[in-house]
Amino acid sequence: MFRFIFRLAAMIALSISVIMAVLDTTRTVAASTLVLTPLNTSWLAVSPDTRAGFETFVRTKISPLAWDVVIAWVLNQPGFAVFAALAFLLYAIGYRRRRQTGQFASP
């Protein structure tokens, strides 16, 4: 059951990554220069209230240093790359290995 949830979350993250990559590609073609939209910019465009709430939560509950060093760095990366990495991580967690029993048995 949990594997299914991780795989579903990976599929959703990969879908968001593809959508963000298509948007960046369209902007790149229109501008005739490489355009990589940071995750922070996309998040602020979609829902600035949740972005501000997340920043407040991290600064008060975790650490201001965590926001300044780790999360600010992640938010400055291209959005499609962040969601692609998240999709890969979630899929790796939900991956089920096939058993290798009986592989070398004689006929």
* 29/46 same-domain check: no
d(CA 66, CA 68): 6
Tens digit of each residue's pLDDT (9 = 90 or more) over 14-47: 999 999 999 999 999 999 999 999 999 999 999 9
Please check whether residue 103 lies inside any domain of the structure: no
Q: Look up the domain containing 17 and give its range.
A: 1-36+79-95
d(CA 100, CA 92): 19
Provide the number of structural domains found in the chain.
2
DSSP notation for 24-60: HHHHHHHHTS----BHHHHHHHH-HHHHHHHHHHIII
* Structure confidence at residue 97 (pLDDT): 76
